[in-house]
Amino acid sequence: MTQNGTSVSIEDLSLNFGAVSVLQTLNLDVAEGEFIVLLGPSGCGKSTLLNCIAGLLDISHGRIFIKGKNVTWEEPKDRGIGMVFQSYALYPQMTVEKNLSFGLRVAGVPKDEIARRIARAAEILQIEPLLQRKPSALSGGQRQRVAIGRALVRDVDVFLFDEPLSNLDAKLRAELRVEIKLLHRKLENTMIYVTHDQIEAMTLADRIAVMKGGVIQQLDAPQTIYNRPVNRFVAGFLGSPAMNFIDGSLEKDKGDWHFVVEDVRIPLGTYAFEKEPTPGLAVFGMRPEHVAFNSGSGWPFSATANVEVVEPMGSDTLVWLKLGGQNFTVRVTSERTPSNADAVSIGFDPMRASLFDAQTGNRL
C-alpha cells in the first residue's frame, strides 16, 4: 500500500476524435492491488480508456496518475504498465523467450537479470517447455499465457488486459479466467481488465465499472451492481438471462406504493426506494432467478399465468410467461420444467426488484 492507497488515478479525462467525443470527463480511482473490470458493450469507450491509461492514445483533456506520478505525457514504457491484448500480439518472428525478453533488451537490462526474470515468469505461467518455440507453434491458450508473461517479466505496477480471453473457446476461457484470478492473488498487482463478458467481470473483479457512451454508469462491487443497478442500462447489461422489465406506473394506495400494470398490482411495501417517489410511469425490473415458481403462497406478490415458451438450458430452464400483458421470464431448475400452455403460479418479493424512472432510466 502506498500512502494514499491509489495505484491509478484518472482525473477529468476526455478524449475526442475530431467532433466525436469518446470519453467524457471521466474520473476513476483504482486502489493498490485492486482488480478493476471495465465492462460495457462494444463502442462504449472501455478499450479506449485502457489505451489512454497505457499512453497509446493522446488524451484531449485531464490527467492520469500512476503510483502517484503524473504520467499524462509519459511514453507507454515509462508508465510502469504491462499490457495484454486480445489478439495476443506476440512478435511472430521471435521465439517465446525472445518475445518475453524483447522489452527488457530494449531497456538494456543485463543478460543474467533477463534470464532470471524469464525463468520466474515461465515458472509462474507454466510455459517452460515452450520457451524455444515460435508463436505460430502455440495454441491460443499458450499464446495468451506468453502474452501475460511479457507483461510479467517487466515487473510492472499495473497490468492492463484488453479483452484477453475473447479469442479463446469457452472451455479455455473458463480455465484462463481462473488462472488470471490466481495470478492476481499471487502477484497482488493492480489490474485493469476490459471485457464485454459479464461472467468474466462478475468472477474476476473487485469492482466493476460499467460503461456506456464514454461514461462510467456505475462503479461498484459485482454483487452491488447485480443486485442494485443504478439505471436500466446497467440492469439490462448484467445478468443472463436478462432482467425482466415491465412498463407500468407507480400509484400510492392508502399510504402504500403499488406498481400497476393492467390488472396486476404489485405491492412495494418491502422495496427500498432511493428516495420518496412520485406517482407516474415507471419500469419494474425483476431477475428471472428471483422469481419463485409453483411454490405456494406466502409471497408478497403472486400470480398465475400460462406458459408460452420453454427454453431448456441444461442446468435450468427458462420459462416465458405473460405478466400484465408483457413478456416475463422465470428461471426454474430443470427437474421442474413445465410443458407449454401449462397454467403455473409465480411469486416474488419486491425487495429484490429494481424500479426505474420511465423517462431517465435511473433507479427509484
Partner 1 sequence: MTAGQITATQLVQEAPDQAGVGPFGPKPRRVSAGRIGLYAFLIVAALFFLIPVYIMIVTSLKGMPEIRLGHLFNLPGEPTFQPWIDAWLHACTGRDCNGLSPGFYNSVKITVPSVVISIICASINGYALTFWPYKGANLLFGLLVFGAFVPYQVVIYPLIIGLSSVGLFASLPGIIIVHTIFGMPILTLLFRNFYAAIPVELFKAARVDGAGFWRIFFYIMLPMSVPITVVAVILQVTGIWNDFLFGIVFAGRPNWPMTVQLNNIVNTTTGVREYNVNMAATILTAAVPLLIYFISGRWFVRGIAAGAVKG
Closest listed residue to residue 154, CA positions, set 106, 88, 95, 82: 82
Side-chain half-sphere CA neighbours of 129 within 13 A? 4
Q: Does 231 engage in binding with partner 1 (CB under 8 A)?
A: no
Q: Does 145 engage in binding with partner 1 (CB under 8 A)?
A: no
Q: Does 93 engage in binding with partner 1 (CB under 8 A)?
A: yes
Q: Does 150 engage in binding with partner 1 (CB under 8 A)?
A: yes
In order, the DSSP letters of 32-94 are: TT-EEEEE--TTSSHHHHHHHHHTSS--SEEEEEETTEE-TT--GGGGTEEEE-TT----TTS
Q: Shortest Cβ distance from residue 269 to partner 1 (Å)?
A: 53
Q: Shortest Cβ distance from residue 79 to partner 1 (Å)?
A: 9
The SS3 of residue 356 is: strand
Are 244 and 287 in contact, with CB atoms under 8 Å apart? yes
Q: Print the binding letters for residues 52-71 with partner 1: x by CB under 8 A, - otherwise.
A: --xxx---------------
The SS3 of residue 313 is: coil
Are 37 and 193 in contact, with CB atoms under 8 Å apart? yes
Q: Shortest Cβ distance from residue 63 to partner 1 (Å)?
A: 20
Q: Shortest Cβ distance from residue 221 to partner 1 (Å)?
A: 29
In order, the DSSP letters of 83-131 are: EE-TT----TTS-HHHHHHHHHHHHT--HHHHHHHHHHHHHHHT-GGGT
Q: Around Cβ 333, how many Cβ atoms within 10 Å?
A: 10
Q: Shortest Cβ distance from residue 92 to partner 1 (Å)?
A: 6
Q: Does 91 engage in binding with partner 1 (CB under 8 A)?
A: yes
Question: Which CB, 46 or 154, lies closer to partner 1?
Answer: 154
Q: In this structure, what C-alpha cell is assigned to residue 52? A: 489512454
Tell me, what amino acid is at 146?
A: V
Question: Which CB, 85 or 348, lies closer to partner 1?
Answer: 85
Q: Site size for partner 1, by CB under 8 A?
A: 26
Question: Which CB, 143 or 331, lies closer to partner 1?
Answer: 143
Segment contacting partner 1 (CB under 8 A): 63-71, 147-155, 286-294, 328-336?
147-155
Q: Shortest Cβ distance from residue 34 to partner 1 (Å)?
A: 21
Segment contacting partner 1 (CB under 8 A): 15-23, 72-80, 204-212, 252-260?
72-80
Q: In this structure, what C-alpha cell is assigned to residue 243? A: 432482467
Q: In this structure, what C-alpha cell is assigned to residue 357? A: 424512472
Q: Does 143 engage in binding with partner 1 (CB under 8 A)?
A: no
Q: Does 89 engage in binding with partner 1 (CB under 8 A)?
A: yes
Segment contacting partner 1 (CB under 8 A): 31-39, 102-110, 295-303, 351-359?
102-110
Q: Does 106 engage in binding with partner 1 (CB under 8 A)?
A: yes
Q: Tell which one of 18, 20, 42, 75 touches partner 1 (CB under 8 A).
A: 75
Round to whole Å and give the CA distance between 130 and 173. 20
Q: Shortest Cβ distance from residue 89 to partner 1 (Å)?
A: 4
Query: What is the DSSP pairing of strand 190-195 with strand 20-31?
Result: unpaired
Q: Print the binding letters for residues 33-52 with partner 1: x by CB under 8 A, - otherwise.
A: ------------------x-
Q: What residues contact 347, with CB distance under 8 A and at least 6 apart?
A: 291, 292, 295, 296, 297, 298, 299, 301, 302, 303
Q: Rule CB under 8 A: which residues touch partner 1?
A: 51, 54-56, 75-77, 81-83, 85-87, 89-93, 102-103, 106-107, 147, 150, 154, 162
